[in-house]
């Protein structure tokens, strides 16, 4: 990332302290990581105990969203509560000449703030449509429409991205200068997320083929 | 997973409540997920605020471990503190005939408990060797040995897996019976983690080739 893109940390709480040169605070970088990786971890406090729930997130503008059953403990607990949501992607293992300098290449985002339920029915529908169509463009309108009972059973949470930071490592190992003389293999082992060939449901009707949006999914 | 393998939840806090049929509590299942996915999320409370830190974890026996700089806020905060550590792998997107029945196939683990620093130097070395050699068998002994300053600068945290649960979804979509008559493509889009071809560090000595452990890495 160009330094010119880096703005200041929006708060001391999300400022990247360890290895601060890996920190980024601009919306383009933060949005790019959220858009590349739907799995997130929602951290919250319940009876004084920290909990982390893995779930899927999506982004619309400068908010991130996640959803689940209206009966979920996590979703009830985090409404109007302080949360920490992180997204992390591993891009490679960085192999150095000493154990100490081994590392990983990664892209991560941490967002802090108060989560809130999307209560308005039209807004909830719009957010869920974005969730489906972000991953699978055009799919929402191909589906059997969502009914009132399903809307009621589904809770959508929102979090503004006003207090967020990204942390990124790229590139090869950085060894101690004297270790470069050692005959030890060093380098990077890349890691990517791979989308496989779609598997038809055995109950698909004859002649129903996978739409384009099933074949174009990319992650990472 | 066979039902015969399922033991009871070790505590109400980690019992899988939503979709409880996806819950597993046996060591074999929990260990298998931890061993398949090194990225974890460490949840903790600092000044009343939840935080989640993505980092790498490894397992030895019935404990999980993670490490970092001795100057890290997370590692200092979680020593002797209650944490929640989760690991989550996505195996596929489950595409149904209604938005409501879309889902994901995944494997996840949640472990609760008190994290503790590994203070003994010999034990710390043994844990770090396991970390390196679990991912890259035999690598530890090929490296320039760790020195006293590096041991001091590295903190290793441990968490017993005595209060842990796994949650797993597999298989295809489960639609409402009447929706099977609709001409909508349904199925599963598999997702895997792919390990790429190792990239040599430009400063490798002439004739130094990637060892076998660089080529055998598998994730997921």
Residues from chain A that touch B72, judged by Cβ atoms under 8 A, are 18
Q: Please give the ipTM for the structure prediction.
A: 0.94
CA distance B18 to B209: 50
* Residue A170 pLDDT class (50, 70, 90 cuts): very high
Residues from chain A that touch B193, judged by Cβ atoms under 8 A, are 191-194
What pLDDT score does B5 carry? 54
CA distance A48 to B43: 12
DSSP letter for A30, please: H
Distance from CA of A69 to the nearest CA of B (A): 8
| A180 belongs to a structural domain | no
Chain A window 88-107: which residues touch B at a Cβ cutoff of 8 Å?
88, 90, 92-93, 95-100, 102, 104, 106
Residues from chain A that touch B181, judged by Cβ atoms under 8 A, are 205
CA distance B140 to A165: 34
Of B18, B41, B188, the CB nearest to A86: B41
Task: Calculate mean pLDDT across residues A125-138.
Answer: 97
CATH code: domain of residue A32 = 2.30.110.10
Residues from chain A that touch B205, judged by Cβ atoms under 8 A, are 181-183
| B69 belongs to a structural domain | yes
User: Does residue A5 carry a pLDDT above 80?
Assistant: no
Count of domains observed in chain B: 1
What pLDDT score does B202 carry? 98
Interface A–B counts its CB contacts (< 8 A) at: 266
Of B68, B82, B143, the CB nearest to A98: B143
Residue ranges, chain B, pLDDT below 50: 1-4
CA distance B114 to A200: 45
| B31 belongs to a structural domain | yes
- Any idea which of A19-23, A61-65, A182-186, B55-59 has the lowest mean pLDDT? A19-23
Does the beta carbon of A3 lie under 8 angstroms from any beta carbon of chain B? Answer: no
Phi-psi sector, A79: left (phi>0), alpha (psi -120 to 50), beta: beta
Residue B133, SS3? Answer: helix
Higher model confidence: residue B7 or residue A35?
A35
User: Does residue A107 carry a pLDDT above 60?
Assistant: yes
Residues from chain A that touch B99, judged by Cβ atoms under 8 A, are 128, 132, 140, 143, 146, 150
CA distance B62 to B27: 8
| B220 belongs to a structural domain | no
Best CA proximity match to B165, nearest among B214, B123, B107, B125: B107
Bridge partners (DSSP) of residue A166 are A24, A109
Task: Calculate mean pLDDT across residues A116-138.
Answer: 97
* Residue A4 pLDDT class (50, 70, 90 cuts): very low
DSSP letter for B70, please: T
What pLDDT score does A17 carry? 84
Does the beta carbon of B183 lie under 8 angstroms from any beta carbon of chain A? Answer: yes
Domain that holds residue B205: 3-215
Backbone angles phi, psi at B34, to 5 degrees: -60, -40
Tokens representing A118?
Answer: 């999307």
Residue A175, SS3? Answer: coil
CA distance B1 to B3: 6
Of B50, B142, B184, the CB nearest to A142: B184
Mean pLDDT value across chain A:
95
Q: Count CA within 13 A, CB hemisphere, residue B115.
A: 26
Q: Model-level pTM? A: 0.95
Backbone angles phi, psi at A178, to 5 degrees: -70, -20
| B136 belongs to a structural domain | yes
| B99 belongs to a structural domain | yes
| A58 belongs to a structural domain | yes
pLDDT digits (tens, 9 = 90+) for A188-219: 999 999 999 999 999 999 999 999 999 999 99
| B52 belongs to a structural domain | yes
What pLDDT score does B6 carry? 57
Residues from chain B that touch A204, judged by Cβ atoms under 8 A, are 185-187
What pLDDT score does B135 carry? 97
User: Does residue A71 carry a pLDDT above 90?
Assistant: no
What pLDDT score does A2 carry? 42
Q: How far is CA B131 from the centre of its chain?
A: 13
């Amino acid at each position: 990332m160009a330094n010119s893109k880096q703005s200041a940390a929006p708060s001391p709480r999300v400022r990247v302290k360890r290895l601060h040169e890996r920190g980024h605070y601009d919306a383009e970088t933060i949005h790019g990581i959220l858009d590349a990786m739907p799995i997130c971890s929602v951290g919250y406090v319940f009876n004084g105990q920290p909990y982390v729930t893995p779930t899927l997130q999506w982004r619309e503008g400068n908010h991130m969203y996640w959803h689940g059953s209206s009966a979920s403990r996590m979703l009830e607990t985090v409404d109007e509560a302080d949360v920490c949501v992180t997204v992390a992607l591993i891009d490679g293992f960085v192999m150095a000449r000493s154990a100490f300098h081994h590392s990983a290449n990664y892209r991560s985002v941490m967002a802090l703030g108060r989560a809130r339920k999307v209560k308005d029915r039209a807004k909830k529908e719009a957010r869920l449509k974005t969730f489906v169509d972000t991953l699978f463009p055009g799919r929402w309108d191909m589906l059997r429409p969502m009914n009132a009972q399903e809307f009621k059973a589904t809770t959508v949470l929102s979090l503004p991205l006003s207090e967020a930071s990204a942390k990124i490592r790229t590139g090869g190992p950085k060894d101690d200068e004297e270790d470069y003389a050692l005959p030890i293999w060093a380098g990077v082992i890349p890691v990517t997320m791979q989308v496989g060939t779609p598997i038809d449901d055995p109950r698909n009707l004859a002649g129903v083929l996978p739409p384009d949006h099933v074949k174009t999914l990319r992650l990472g």
